[in-house]
Amino acid sequence: MGRSPCYDATGLKRGPWTPEEDQKLMAYIQKHGHGSWRSLPEKAGLQRCGKSCRLRWINYLRPDIKRGKFSLDEEKTIIQLHALLGNRWSAIASHLPKRTDNEIKNYWNTHIKKRLAMMGIDPATHKPVVAALGSGNGEPKKVTNLTHMAQWESARLEAEARLVRESSKLRQNYQQPTAGLPCPPPTQRVNKIASRLGSPRCLDILKAWQRVQLKSLVIENNGGDHGGNLQSPTSTSNLQNIPVSSTNCNIATFHSIDVNEGFTTFQDMEFEAGQAWSMGACDAEDDDMIKGFSNFLSNNWETDHLVQYPNTDKDGNSGSSDGVSENDDENKNYLDDVFNLVDCGLRYSDSTLLHNNICMEHLELFIRPTC
């Protein structure tokens, strides 16, 4: 037994709003604020229930609402956030300025959902619908690759979701500076957080990096020096400099993770996926931070994520100097296949750029702070 509809009792109006009603509602709220929604309709002279007024204001009349067609960026964001958050429309809307949850939900249901389905991607799981890709004598390699892609993406999203949840908790619990007092310096704040939470502290580490700019990062494959600096993790202009290789990459060495705002500069840190870690130099007082960070990597990092893709030169062309051309081709084809399948309006110049972007996403996820 649910509550009776709000319009039952007094024959309140329902259905589409007229311009006159909109005008009344806007005028009242602009003058008095909405206050109690229940009492608003009577005060504003509207034959509507408070709930209806609230919905109309929030989803349509509010001045800070952007209406009209969604941009490609917005669409991309929605898809990514939906993969991460599911049908939590309000959470998704919070990442899209000026868009309402209702609008995003409608757009998802009427546009994106159908398009993904048409492309053979399950809108609920964001994974390829393998059965729909032609089994039997179809193209098993493609299916394998897409499955791999799905697993790969799933792991990433899972970690990302965990990060978001924990980050949100931390923000709620520990980022409430006393009124009138200056916010403590980041390091101090982090130590406080870490001391309260105990182990594991991996998320504290990421949180600690929120205000930190990762200045330069070089990934080295198993001791081989491919060089290259990454000025900004989000800048596509530098993607071509990511040194990656498809040879044995169980160990990644990070040189000169140089952070500012008084944070430690980590040098020569080694991370072995799922196993051990070591480091060449870092400040002793940041041991906990580094351990936490290392644990985080060990728990979440699959070597495939960083090493499966071919080298590139500064122009973004595939390299062939490491004897990995066979894998290069395979991976390039794999990405081309995925790219062709997942044509959701996000176009990159070629699969090389795309795979670099994928590498970048993982670097950002596992290395970069989430801010």
- Enumerate binding residues for DNA (CB under 7 A): 1-7, 13-17, 34, 36-39, 48, 50-52, 54-56, 58-60, 67, 87-91, 101-103, 105-107, 109-111, 114
Euclidean distance between CA atoms 27 and 41, whole angstroms: 12
C-beta of residue 361 within 8 angstroms of C-beta of residue 343 = no
Residue 160 CB, nearest approach to DNA (Å)? 17
Residue 52 CB, nearest approach to DNA (Å)? 3
Residue 25 CB, nearest approach to DNA (Å)? 10
Residue 247 CB, nearest approach to DNA (Å)? 44
For DNA, the closer of residues 48 and 332 by Cβ is 48
Residue 112 CB, nearest approach to DNA (Å)? 10
Query: Whose CA is closest to 124, among 100, 108, 147?
Result: 108
For DNA, the closer of residues 100 and 294 by Cβ is 100
For DNA, the closer of residues 41 and 369 by Cβ is 41
Residue 29 CB, nearest approach to DNA (Å)? 12
For DNA, the closer of residues 105 and 291 by Cβ is 105
For DNA, the closer of residues 15 and 97 by Cβ is 15
For DNA, the closer of residues 90 and 236 by Cβ is 90
